[in-house]
Amino acid sequence: MKVLVVDDEAPARARLVAMLAELGSGITVVGEADNGREAVERAAASGADAVLLDIAMPVMDGLEAARHIARLEPRPVVIFCTAYDEHALAAFEAAAVDYLVKPVRLERLEEALARARRARASDAPATPAAVPALANSPRQRSHLAARMRGNLRLIPIEDVHYLQAEEKYVLVHHARGEDLIEESLKSLELEFGDRFQRIHRNCLVANDEFLELRRLPDGQVQAVLRHGKLPLEVSRRCVPLLRERLKHL
């Protein structure tokens, strides 16, 4: 079993790696990570079978990381290792197979890995119903996840300029370029309504992107953005509410 060890404290990672070595052959540590974003990227790159995942971490916490990891194919099994037992319910909602409270005991780690092996052996391909709904979580994400030719790219929400619906996908315009994500614009609006304003049925714009609303001679209104190459059309039905909201940003 290939295992990725994730904790923001180096001594905690070293202890888990040593315990895994003590459990003997059949277990290979394929990497370490010290934050949730790095955990998701390394889980995707390493082909890990299981991820030992802390919860309270910088950049992206373990609960959000687990929800992104659940979308990987093949999907690694997540085992939470944390000092805080109040996260247990949220951990299992994030599809973890076990939840270990620090300091982790060797016998509990062995038991969790056995459970992970059974889960891997019986795991069917993920279906939409089996994968945690990222946008339905009460916790607002810090990143969006895009797939490109089999690779995973995590996009910080704070880097997103605007979102445009493209058939069943959403095109994310962000500081490093453009990426498609498999989510609906409506679900993104529900999750990030405090960060984005709807300007059209197919477009959401980040609050800090607006420079001005420009009315053309034909009455059409356009949004001029800080990072947009061209102004974006604002639908007539969105204009009144958008003008009112922009007054308070």
Per-residue 3-state assignment (H helix, E strand, C coil) for 190-238: HHHCCCEEEEECCEEEEHHHEEEEEECCCCCEEEEECCCCCCEEECCCC
Residues 18 and 96 in one domain: yes
Whether 127 shows a pLDDT value over 50: the answer reads no
Q: Which of 122, 153, 179 is the last residue of a domain?
A: 122
Which tens digits make up the pLDDT trace of 82-126? Answer: 887 666 656 566 668 898 999 999 999 999 999 999 998 886 433
- Residue 209's contacts (CB-CB under 8 Å, 6 or more residues apart) are 161, 162, 225, 226, 227, 228
Q: Which domain holds residue 213?
A: 142-247
Q: What is the spatial distance between Cα 164 and Cα 166, in angstroms, rounded to a whole number? A: 6
Tokens linked to 140: 């607002």
Which tens digits make up the pLDDT trace of 54-88? Answer: 999 999 999 999 989 988 888 999 999 988 766 66
Tokens linked to 108: 């509990």
Whether 228 shows a pLDDT value over 50: the answer reads yes
What pLDDT is attached to residue 135?
43
Q: Is residue 81 part of a domain?
A: yes
Residues 107 and 198 in one domain: no
Q: What is the spatial distance between Cα 132 and Cα 213, in angstroms, rounded to a whole number? A: 38
Lowest mean pLDDT segment, chosen from 2-6, 86-90, 234-238: 86-90
Task: Provide the pLDDT confidence category of residue 24 given band limits of 50, 70 and 90.
Answer: confident
As for how many domains the chain has, the answer is 2
What pLDDT is attached to residue 249?
77
What pLDDT is attached to residue 200?
96
179-195 average pLDDT score: 94
Q: Is residue 133 part of a domain?
A: no
Residues 85 and 159 in one domain: no
Q: What is the spatial distance between Cα 74 and Cα 124, in angstroms, rounded to a whole number? A: 10
